[in-house]
Amino acid sequence: MSSYETWVATFDGQVGRVYGVDEQKRLRHLESEGRDARPNTDSQPDGLRVPHTAEVAGYITEPQFVESFAKHLDQRARAGAFQRLIISADPNALHYFRDAVPATLKTKVVKELNKDHVHTPVKAFESAISEHL
């Protein structure tokens, strides 16, 4: 079980990051809880980067990724990993999340923020959402 009562999830169409909120209201990256659907690549001798396979070459749609991420968060909520969830995503991803979120996870969502912070540095993300922590 997680030692963080509140989790913060930020996501777009291919990457989802999850943070726990500690007692000092700081975000702690929970790397193992995140998801990444971007293609895996290897550098070739000629400097080109190519995907390993077509299956991981980014052929998952944004709605599929968001639904998968929502299901993962729901499984973790059911396991008691967190009690409260703050969501931060761009408008499209947030729309897909609202369509896909299971009822059990919906009860844990305490705030939805209409902003993608996937690539925001942690301290800047913390500052941007501090009033909701």
Dump pLDDT digits (tens) for 58-114. 457 899 999 999 999 999 999 999 999 999 999 999 999 999 999 999 999 999 999
pTM value? 0.84
Cα gap 7→16, rounded to integer Å: 13
pLDDT at 3: 81
Which residue type does 81 have?
A
Give the other-Cβ count within 10 Å of 67's Cβ: 17
- Residue written as token pair 């599929």: 64
Give the other-Cβ count within 10 Å of 114's Cβ: 12
Tokens of 119: 């690539």
Q: Are 49 and 42 a contacting pair, CB within 8 Å?
A: yes
* Residues 6 or more apart whose Cβ sits within 8 Å of residue 107: none
Question: Yes or no: is domain 6-132 CATH 3.30.420.60?
Answer: yes
pLDDT at 48: 42
Return the SS3 of 105: helix
**Over pLDDT 70: what percentage of the chain?**
83
Give the other-Cβ count within 10 Å of 6's Cβ: 21
Where do the domains of the chain lie?
6-132
